[in-house]
Chain A
């Protein structure tokens, strides 16, 4: 059982690295979808013995939302806004992957120093969850497109989900489902926002959002204007 759990966790790490290394928006969305499906298996394996109704419900809801609905929403948004399909990172792919490896090291180091409940079934679970959160953060910070920021948010949430499933397998199912619903609404709202950003700027590069100001630059100045 632990062998399967470890394999699943390693696959999740690989999806993290692949996300940091791939340069196409569509590809990134599919990687995050694959990660969502892999995470769906986590409650089944982390619960131990025979998975109960609760684990099955969580798993089905997770796979359905993260593996099917979110990718479909995001791919649709990508098609609607007709943007360039390149990620255009602030940080190069190679450097991102190196950082991804470094992040895993940091997660291992940090989790070795954490007082963990004995219920954790695999010593790899907490480091992988932490590394997934940090990867999500890295994607949010180092990529410029609005869609990649949604993806970073999703990966971050995946990390928290993995952490929760591993640390507290007996958390009320209502809480978990509530979180899934929140994430669903968030992705939905972000999809609409992306559409509006792209209509306003003909692009979904979040760099351009810094051009939003309350005041107009003074005519003839260097374009920076003066603060009111």
Chain B
């Protein structure tokens, strides 16, 4: 039963870039292309790691430290997020605040590095990123609070252990609301399509991409790997809520959760292929809508 407690951080570190590959492959298949191999993100990382980082003379130590800090923060988050029906390595009351805080530290590092370059363009991206994060975090907190109240616990592992198919049937229509809010947050925080286009390099529309333009070589690899891990961590939160299936066997539960992650990647690919990017002024509306949905779910659970 406890196998996934130790396995999850390792699995997350190994498989996180695969999610990106799966999303890209889904989009390619839907567009009628063959697409890049599933392992392409790993090759990109390997290529970047062999290169040398180039630093502008205007940057300071902040710029060099940020990619490592970001990767470290997200890696620690994998220790706190439970997976596959087993509790996480680190579990204590209120640990979901730690996860959100770690993700915020990673974002803070990226934003500082972007401002450190002195480029007005990167400053614009940093401003957008922080604005959207300020709207996405309440939604995330409200959604997790609804799950926690339904599960009568404030630890992510406790929430996962207490949530089952029956507990959600009792909570009624709260589950779809929480799932929708979390999905919106996952898309927004990971720079996915209705909020930000990960492929675009068109200046005016970028949010996340624009902040990492000046990074190169291993630094860029750290950032890409960190964002893949971030997608994994937030995806695991969503999958824990949506698939509370417990069979009792660690391997089956793990397989269900891994299948959930793969489904999430395919779903993101589907969303990216079928939707257009929202106009930047409409994005706050999406996130406020997500926060309202989460608040509604919280009310339903509280009742």
Contacts and interface: CB of A to CB of B under 8 A. Distances in A.
A104 B288 contact: no
B303 A123 contact: yes
Contacts of B169: 3
Interface residues of B, number: 17
Interface stretch (B122-130, B240-248, B291-299): B291-299
Given A13-B296, A108-B299, A124-B303, A97 B285 contact: yes
A101 interface: yes
Nearest to A10: B173
Contacts of B289: 17, 21, 97
A224 interface: no
Contact of B285 (A10, A11, A94, A104): A94
A108 B177 CA distance: 18
B284 A104 contact: no
B300 interface: yes
B37 interface: no
A100 B293 CA distance: 11
Contacts of A100: 292
Contacts of B284: 94
Interface of B: 169, 172-173, 177, 282, 284-285, 288-289, 291-293, 295-296, 299-300, 303
A6 B172 contact: yes
A184 B302 CA distance: 38
4 pairs of A and B residues whose beta carbons are closest in the complex:
A101-B292, A10-B173, A7-B173, A6-B172
A58 B177 CA distance: 30
A98 interface: yes
A10 B292 contact: no
11 contacts: A10-B173, A11-B173, A17-B293, A93-B282, A94-B284, A94-B288, A98-B288, A104-B296, A104-B299, A108-B299, A124-B303
Contacts of B292: 17, 97-98, 100-101
